[in-house]
Amino acid sequence: MMSWGAFARLIAICVPVAYGCSVGVGTSNDQPTAGAAGQPAQAGSMGGEAGGSGHSDSGPEQSGGAGGEALTNNDAASSAGMNQAGEGGAGGAGGAGDFGGAGAGPSLFGGQVRFAVHCCSAPPSDANLYSSVATATIGPGVEFPAIASMGSSVINADVDVSDGLVTIIYRASATAYSGTFNGYELDFVPTAEAPSLPVIDAASLDAATTFSSGVGVSFNDHSLFINMAGLAIPAGSEVAVRFSLRE
């Protein structure tokens, strides 16, 4: 799958507008630029049956379409080496440490994270990049505020990253495009000050998450992937992903 040096990418979502897409997740009357699976769609028509969420022992979690164009399951991502994380159940948070925190455990605090949105195929790659790529230093405050500024079809949200927790709070209501992957990639990258990174060894949805099903979480050593394909997203809703670290 993605190496720790890959770009961190965010979820592509479109809000329904009269004849097209605007910032946020939603549906559109525009036709997809490519109908074949594995190619990102610019926009798409409403449709598709609602599907239950599930998971595979060999890959990321699946989520069914939800009546509009949106993010979809992570199945195809499994072929790229992403580890599956089931819904619910909080993984242990890493303590502060390596990058100047006060605790004794491995830490990402003070390190850098890259963030990007991908739609609508898996695995996330440059070919399905749906936003610009942003880099931030992990610390106090929101690392990626108002992410609609990263792309005209990106659902607006604030993304906060801390040791052991990623929190996404949506500013707008929308429905995510369907597809094998429509969501976010966060890559933790080394710096001159911190050339060696701790490894992610578990990740799952935290209880603070608004959605009872449908959100896919997967990971590799230095990246997290959050799949929102096909989900209806209310304004003010939250996705929280908790992860643990090891040296």
Q: pLDDT, tens digit, for every residue of 121-179?
A: 999 999 999 999 999 999 999 999 999 999 999 999 999 999 899 999 999 999 999 99
Note whether 82 and 216 are within 8 A (CB): no
CA-CA distance, 11 to 23, in Å (whole number)?
Answer: 12
H or E segment to which residue 137 belongs: strand 134-137
For residue 39, what are the CA distances in angstroms to 43, 72, 120, 179, 237? 12, 13, 7, 9, 28
pLDDT at position 193: 77
CA-CA distance, 114 to 98, in Å (whole number)?
Answer: 19
CA-CA distance, 98 to 153, in Å (whole number)?
Answer: 37
Tokens representing 8 are 């961190």
Phi, psi at 51, each rounded to 5°: -125, 150
pLDDT at position 105: 83
Name which of 110, 120, 142, 125 is nearest 230 in CA terms.
Answer: 120
36 contact partners, CB below 8 Å, separation of at least 6 = none
If phi over 0 gives left and psi between -120 and 50 gives alpha, with beta otherwise, what is residue 230? left
Q: Kindly report the CA angle at 66 between 60 and 67, in degrees rounded to 5?
A: 150
| Number of other CB atoms surrounding residue 247 within 10 Å | 10
Note whether 229 and 120 are within 8 A (CB): yes
Phi, psi at 132, each rounded to 5°: -75, 175
Q: Tens-digit pLDDT profile for the chain (247 aa)?
A: 444 343 333 334 433 333 333 333 333 333 333 333 333 333 333 333 333 333 333 344 333 333 333 333 333 333 333 444 433 333 333 333 333 334 558 889 889 999 999 999 999 999 999 999 999 999 999 999 999 999 999 999 999 999 899 999 999 999 999 999 999 999 999 888 778 899 999 999 999 999 999 999 999 999 999 999 999 999 999 999 999 999 8
| Number of other CB atoms surrounding residue 171 within 10 Å | 17
Tokens representing 142 are 């929101």
pLDDT at position 104: 58
